[in-house]
Amino acid sequence: MRTVKNAIKLIIEQSNRLDVLVNNAGFGLSGALEDLNIDEIKSQYETNVFGLVRTTQFVLPIMRKQRSGLIVNISSGAGRFGFPTGSAYVSTKFAVEGLTESMSYELEPFGIKVILIEPGVIKTNFFNSSVLAKKSQDPNSPYATLMKSMEDSVDKMMENGSTPQYVAEVVLHAVTNENPKLRYLAGKDVERWIEAKMKMSDEEFANMMKQI
């Protein structure tokens, strides 16, 4: 918290204003809910949700005083739909989506805009650096087969994943737009998934996800 506060203070001392905040810190936690312990879930929320909240709260008084500013929250396609073994991660992204949407109403009178960026599968080290729940590493876990299946699915999706540059271009387009939208999808895969979710029933979408 102190590091964030000091960084913002330095920006104001050097520039006397703060125009854009991009909340991009986060990590993945993989494991079925039953295999997750509460400390693992708390750690996931501490970074993906509460870190975003704290940073945003630090900049809001500055942006209100300016009566301008743009807050970009990097969410995920997983903020719009769930997938197996991702209950903790997905729930943090759902939280970011709801938080950002609510903030948009609160901050509009002060000239502050908020944006959600929703990437799909991106060719980074995100999955390699994701945390695997301790109980999920037990070959006797009742979810061991599901974990292996999801690992294989991720490997296949990574082959057709988007590049980090693609996401950066989406962010740049959003922040340079005079009237940015609330949500921007970032990736052909997530565009297909969201389009399917809008057209399908919950049962149809679930059956599609099970085949990925």
Upper half-sphere CA count for residue 93 (Cβ side, 13 Å): 25
Upper half-sphere CA count for residue 159 (Cβ side, 13 Å): 4
How many other C-beta atoms can be found within 10 angstroms of the C-beta atom of residue 85?
Answer: 25
CA–CA dist 211, 204 (Å, integer): 11
Is residue 89 annotated as part of the catalytic site, yes or no? yes
Q: Are 189 and 120 in contact (CB under 8 A)?
A: yes
CA–CA dist 199, 173 (Å, integer): 27
**Active-site position among 45, 89, 105, 184:** 89
What is the helix (H) or strand (E) element at residue 70, kind and residue range? strand 69-74
Catalytic residue numbers read: 89
